[in-house]
């Protein structure tokens, strides 16, 4: 590699743009009442189609489901590699505009659901969304709270840990199981990537003729997205919110954290916690997690939005998968 | 056409970059090159983002020029990507 390519300052004119708000199912038939709406705040990494085969199926046809896709925001893309820094609050404002317009056109009860970094976005979006009468609460899917204790500089992130996350991501992305065990001891990224490539090919996750350069690019793009989100969270200074919330943790999350993944500092009352099988990435397609999200949303729509979680969210979630 | 013949192509020439991409994508999708529409978005070929990034890595090696992860998003067709890559290679050489 000899030269760094210039990063475009703005998308070329005429570029097809995927809508920021994308319905994942057909609209409720005319004359019928939409009993509720779920807005999935998606931060990329995995395709938003992951929700279609899982979560969407858990809701009855009278429930609307839409994705608020961060990956459709040019500012989110432009923030990759740090060339066009963005502010988390500015990204949220763009999503808020879409959400508000959608609710103004068809007001109804709604719940925000955010996976991973999407949960952090969902938290800040909730600050605005609570001004709408339909807002009922926030569901966090294996999302780490952006509190000081859990913030790390980019150069403090452990390389091998990042490589294990990459393997986890690639496995979920390709629907195959790639062993996460890495060679013992300090190793250069090149050596680790060659090891991962070998096992990714053996598992069928990648084609046999996938070159190491392709693996490098996949890894580079994965890290670029992760570091972008780390930087966005790092610069964000959130104030606590009083909203109903549920935290669904993956049993194999990315890092072992406290019971509330930091959200107890930011959410009042503290979110109800549920544990689901799978890892951080397979959580999106895991049936138990999808059912849990659907149940959490229904519970929020049944109860007054200002009630504490123990009353607002009902007994269903508390009885299933109770965390210590 | 064999992939091996791409060694005679010049990455500073848009039509050569196009040819390189068409060959690679046709090979990946196991279709004939004639079926590859250069104005079609890469994701419309059924090439998901993982495969597009692998291709981007191969393209970097061939051209000797690093491509930002956003390049495929900003130039999502073979036609526009070829033009962009050739311009970058030319600028790097001058």
- The residue assigned the tokens 């895991």 is A286
A204 pLDDT band (50/70/90 cuts)?
A: very high
Which residues, in sequence order, are CB contacts of A14 under 8 Å at separation 6+? none
pLDDT at A21 over 50: yes
Residue A246 near residue A272 (C-beta atoms within 8 A): yes
Q: How far apart are CA A141 and CA A23, in angstroms?
A: 20
SS3 A242: strand
Strand partners, A250: A276
Among all residues of chain B, which has the CA nearest to that of A15?
B74
Q: pLDDT tens digits for A72-116?
A: 888 888 788 666 678 999 999 999 999 999 999 989 999 999 999
Q: How close are the terminal C-alpha atoms of chain B, in Å?
A: 32
For residue B70, give the nearest of A80, A216, A217 by CB distance: A80
Asked whether the beta carbons of residue B69 and residue A80 sit closer than 8 angstroms, the reply is yes
Of chain A, the percentage scoring pLDDT greater than 70 comes to 85
Backbone angles phi, psi at A227, to 5 degrees: -70, -35
CA distances for A153 relative to A75, A157, A256, angstroms? 22, 7, 18
Least confident of A56-70, A89-103, A216-230, A290-304: A290-304
Question: Among the listed ranges A63-67, A122-126, A219-223, A301-305, which one has the minimum average pLDDT value?
Answer: A301-305
CB contact under 8 A, A11 and B80: no
Query: How confident is the model at residue A303, as a pLDDT?
Result: 55
Q: Identify the residue with better confidence: B42 or A322.
A: B42
Considering chain A, what is the average pLDDT of its residues? 85
Q: In angstroms, what separates the C-alpha of A68 from chain B's closest C-alpha?
A: 18
Distance in Å, alpha carbon of A80 to nearest chain B alpha carbon? 8
Q: Do A7 and B53 touch (CB under 8 A)?
A: no
- Tell me the whole-structure pTM to 2 decimals: 0.88
pLDDT of residue A322: 43
| List of chain A residues whose C-beta atoms are within 8 Å of the C-beta of residue B76 | 15-16
Which pLDDT score is estimated for A110?
A: 95
Q: Give the pairing of strands A272-279 and A267-268.
A: unpaired
Residue B74, pLDDT above cutoff 90: no
Q: Residue A195 pLDDT > 50, yes or no?
A: yes
Alpha-carbon distance of A305 to A47, in angstroms, equals 31
Task: Give SS3 for B74.
Answer: helix
Of B57, B74, B91, the CB nearest to A216: B57
The arithmetic mean of pLDDT across residues A58-72, rounded, is 92
The full 3-state SS of A118-168, as one line of letters, equals HHHHHHHHHHHHCCCCCEEEEEEECCCCCCHHHCCCHHHCCHHHHHHHHHH
Nearest alpha-carbon partner for A138 in A16, A52, A248: A248
Q: In chain A, which residues touch B (CB < 8 A)?
A: 1-8, 11-12, 15-16, 47, 77-78, 80-81, 83, 170, 173-174, 206-207, 210-211, 213-218, 220-221, 224-225
CA distances from B40 to A31, A88, A142, B32, B77 (A): 39, 33, 36, 15, 6
- Residue A6's pLDDT is what? 45
Greatest distance between any 2 Cα atoms in chain A: 64
Q: Which residues contact A180 (CB under 8 A, 6 or more apart)?
A: A164, A167, A168
CA of A216 vs chain B CAs: smallest distance (Å): 7
CA distance A171 to A123: 28
CA–CA distances in Å: residue B56 to residues A167, A241, A312, B45: 19, 43, 49, 15
Alpha carbons within 13 angstroms on the beta-carbon side of residue A223 total: 20
Average pLDDT over residues B46-54: 86
Q: Is the pLDDT of residue A242 over 90?
A: yes
Q: Which of A214, A216, A223, A281 to mutate to probe the B interface, most B CBs <10 Å?
A: A214
- Look at residue B2 and tell me whether its pLDDT is greater than 50: no
- In sequence order, what are the beta bridge partners of A141? A115, A248
What φ, ψ does residue A249 adopt, rounded to 5°? -100, 140
Q: Best residue in A213, A223, A226 to probe B by mutation, most B CBs within 10 Å?
A: A213
Nearest to B57 among A5, A170, A214 (CB): A214
**Contact across the interface for A78 and B58, Cβ inside 8 Å:** no
Question: Would the CB atoms of B58 and A213 count as touching at under 8 Å?
Answer: yes
pLDDT-derived band at A27, boundaries 50, 70, 90: low
Return the residue of A nearest to B81 by Cα: A12
- Using an 8 Å CB-CB cutoff, list residues of chain B that contact chain A: 28, 41, 48-50, 53-58, 60-61, 64-71, 73-76, 80, 88, 91-92
Q: How confident is the model at residue A2 (pLDDT cuts 50, 70, 90)?
A: very low
A211 contacts B58? CB cut-off 8 A: yes
- For residues A138-166, give the mean pLDDT: 90
Res A160: pLDDT: 87
d(CA B22, CA B34): 9
Nearest by CB to A15, from B55, B66, B74: name it: B74
CA-wise closest residue to A28 among A67, A81, A64, A57: A64
Tell me, what DSSP letter sits at residue A42? E
Cβ contact, residue pair A1, B50, below 8 Å? no
- How far is it, in rounded angstroms, from Cα A141 to Cα B37? 39
Determine the pLDDT at residue A1: 33
Q: Where are the alpha helices (DSSP H) in chain A?
A: 49-53, 74-78, 88-105, 117-129, 159-174, 189-203, 212-234, 287-302, 309-312, 314-319
Cis peptide before A38 (omega within 30 of 0): no
């Amino acid at each position: 590699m000899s030269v760094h390519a210039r990063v475009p300052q703005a998308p070329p004119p005429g570029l097809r743009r995927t809508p920021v708000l994308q319905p994942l199912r057909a609209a409720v038939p005319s004359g019928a009442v939409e009993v509720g709406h779920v807005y999935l705040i998606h931060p990329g990494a995995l395709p938003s189609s992951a929700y279609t085969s899982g979560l969407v199926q858990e809701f009855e046809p009278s429930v609307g489901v839409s994705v608020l896709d961060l990956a459709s925001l040019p500012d989110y893309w432009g923030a990759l590699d740090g060339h066009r820094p963005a502010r988390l609050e500015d990204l949220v404002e763009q999503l808020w505009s879409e959400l508000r317009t959608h609710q103004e056109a068809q007001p109804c009860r709604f719940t925000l659901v955010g996976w991973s970094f999407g949960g952090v976005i969902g938290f800040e979006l909730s600050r605005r969304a609570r001004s709408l009468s339909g807002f009922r609460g926030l569901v966090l899917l294996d999302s780490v709270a952006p509190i000081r204790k859990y913030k790390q500089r980019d150069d403090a992130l452990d390389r091998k840990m990042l490589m294990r996350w990459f393997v986890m991501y690639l496995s979920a992305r390709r629907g195959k199981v790639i062993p996460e065990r890495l060679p013992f001891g300090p190793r250069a990224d090149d050596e680790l990537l060659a090891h991962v490539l070998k096992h990714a090919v053996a598992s069928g996750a990648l084609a046999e003729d996938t070159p190491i350069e392709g693996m490098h690019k996949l890894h580079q793009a994965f890290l670029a997205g992760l570091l972008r989100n780390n930087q966005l969270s790092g610069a964000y200074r959130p104030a606590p919110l009083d909203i109903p919330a549920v935290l669904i943790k993956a049993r194999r999350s990315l890092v072992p954290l406290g019971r509330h993944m930091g959200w107890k500092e930011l959410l009042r009352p503290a979110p109800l916690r549920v544990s689901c099988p799978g890892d951080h990435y397979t959580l999106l397609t895991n049936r138990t997690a999808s059912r849990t999200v659907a149940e959490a949303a229904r519970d929020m729509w049944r109860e007054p939005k200002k009630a504490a979680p123990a009353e607002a969210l009902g007994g269903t979630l508390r009885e299933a998968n109770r965390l210590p | 056409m064999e992939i091996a013949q791409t060694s005679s192509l010049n990455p500073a020439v848009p039509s050569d970059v196009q040819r390189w991409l068409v060959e690679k994508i046709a090979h990946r999708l196991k279709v004939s090159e004639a079926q590859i529409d250069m104005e079609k978005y890469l994701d419309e070929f059924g090439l998901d983002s993982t495969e597009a990034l692998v291709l981007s890595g191969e393209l970097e090696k061939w051209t000797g020029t690093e491509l930002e992860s956003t390049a495929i998003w900003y130039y999502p067709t073979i036609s526009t990507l070829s033009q962009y890559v050739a311009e970058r290679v030319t600028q790097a050489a001058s």
